[in-house]
Chain A
Amino acid sequence: MIAFFIRRIGQAMIVMFVISLIAFSIQDNLGDPLRELVGQSVSEAERQVLRDEMGLNDPFLVQYWRFLKRAVKGDLGNSYFFKRPALEVILEKLPATVELVMGATLIILLFSIPIGVYCAINPRSWLTKLMMGTSIIGISIPVFLTAILLIYLFSIELGWFPSFGRGETTVLFGGWHTGLLTRDGLMHLILPSIALSSIMLPLFIRLIRSEMMEVLEQEYIRFAWAKGLTRKRIWFLHALKNTLLPVITVGGVQIGTMIAYTILTETVFQWPGMGFLFLEAVNRVDTPLIIAYLIVVGLIFVITNTLVDLIYGLVNPTVKLTGGAA
Chain B
Amino acid sequence: MPILEIKNLEVRFPMRGGELIAIRDISFSIDRGERLGIVGESGAGKSVAAFAILRLIGRPGYISGGQILFEGNDLARLSPEQLRQFRGNQITMIFQDPMMTLNPVLTIGTQMIECLQTHRGMGRKQARKVAVEKLRRVAIPSPEARIDQYPHELSGGMRQRVVIAIALLTDPAIIIADEPTTALDVTIQAEIMELLLALCETHQVALILITHDLGVVSEITQRAIVMYAGRIVEEGPTRDIIERARHPYTHGLIDALPERTHPGQRLNQIPGSMPSLVDIPPGCAFHPRCEHVTDLCQTRVPGYTLLDHARVACHWVAAQEQS
Report which A residues bind B (CB closer than 8 A): 218-220, 222-230, 233, 237-238, 241-242, 245, 315-318, 326
Shortest CB-to-CB span from A29 to chain B, Å, is 49
By a CB distance below 8 angstroms, the chain A residues around B280 are none
Within 8 A of A (CB), among B107-134: 107, 114-115, 118-119
Contact of B88 among A228, A237, A317 (CB under 8 A): A228
By a CB distance below 8 angstroms, the chain A residues around B85 are 228
Report which B residues bind A (CB closer than 8 A): 54, 56, 58, 84-89, 92-93, 95, 97, 100-107, 114-115, 118-119, 150, 152, 163, 166
Shortest CB-to-CB span from B245 to chain A, Å, is 32
CA–CA, A162 and B97, complex, Å: 59
Q: A219-B100, A220-B104 are in contact. Are A226 and B152 (CB under 8 A)?
A: no
CA–CA, A280 and B61, complex, Å: 61
Contact of B114 among A229, A245, A326 (CB under 8 A): A229
Q: Is the interface of A mostly helix, strand, loop or mixed?
A: helix
Q: A220-B100, A233-B114 are in contact. Are A227 and B87 (CB under 8 A)?
A: yes
Q: B105 to A219, Cβ gap below 8 A? A: no
Shortest CB-to-CB span from B302 to chain A, Å, is 34
CA–CA, A226 and B58, complex, Å: 12
Q: B106 to A226, Cβ gap below 8 A? A: no
Contact of A238 among B54, B89, B100, B103 (CB under 8 A): B103
By a CB distance below 8 angstroms, the chain A residues around B150 are 317-318
Q: A219-B95, A318-B150 are in contact. Are A228 and B84 (CB under 8 A)?
A: yes
By a CB distance below 8 angstroms, the chain A residues around B114 are 227, 229, 233
Count A-B pairs with CB separation below 8 Å: 76
Q: A230-B118, A326-B152 are in contact. Are A223 and B93 (CB under 8 A)?
A: yes
By a CB distance below 8 angstroms, the chain A residues around B84 are 228-230
Shortest CB-to-CB span from A128 to chain B, Å, is 16
Query: Which A-B residue pairs are the 8 nearest by beta carbons?
Result: A228-B88, A228-B87, A227-B88, A219-B100, A317-B150, A226-B93, A220-B103, A223-B101
By a CB distance below 8 angstroms, the chain B residues around A218 are 100
Q: A225 to B102, Cβ gap below 8 A? A: no
Q: B104 to A228, Cβ gap below 8 A? A: no
CA–CA, A85 and B107, complex, Å: 53
Shortest CB-to-CB span from A133 to chain B, Å, is 23
Chain B residue with Cβ nearest A224: B103
CA–CA, A242 and B87, complex, Å: 23
Q: A226 to B87, Cβ gap below 8 A? A: yes
Q: B87 to A225, Cβ gap below 8 A? A: yes
Shortest CB-to-CB span from B162 to chain A, Å, is 11
By a CB distance below 8 angstroms, the chain A residues around B101 are 219-220, 223
CA–CA, A241 and B103, complex, Å: 10
CA–CA, A233 and B87, complex, Å: 15
Contact of A226 among B54, B100, B103, B104 (CB under 8 A): B54
By a CB distance below 8 angstroms, the chain A residues around B119 are 228
Q: B104 to A223, Cβ gap below 8 A? A: no
Residue from the set B95, B114, B115, B119 with the largest chain A CB neighbour count within 10 Å:
B114
Q: A223 to B118, Cβ gap below 8 A? A: no
Shortest CB-to-CB span from B184 to chain A, Å, is 15
Apart from A219-B95, A226-B92, A318-B104, what 15 extra A-B contacts exist at CB < 8 Å? Answer: A220-B100, A220-B103, A222-B95, A225-B87, A226-B95, A227-B92, A227-B114, A227-B115, A227-B118, A229-B115, A229-B118, A233-B118, A238-B103, A241-B105, A242-B104
CA–CA, A218 and B187, complex, Å: 27
Q: A317 to B92, Cβ gap below 8 A? A: no
Q: B152 to A318, Cβ gap below 8 A? A: yes
Shortest CB-to-CB span from A319 to chain B, Å, is 10
Chain A residue with Cβ nearest B100: A219
CA–CA, A218 and B95, complex, Å: 12
By a CB distance below 8 angstroms, the chain A residues around B87 are 225-228
Chain B residue with Cβ nearest A317: B150
CA–CA, A178 and B58, complex, Å: 53
Q: B115 to A226, Cβ gap below 8 A? A: no
CA–CA, A237 and B87, complex, Å: 19
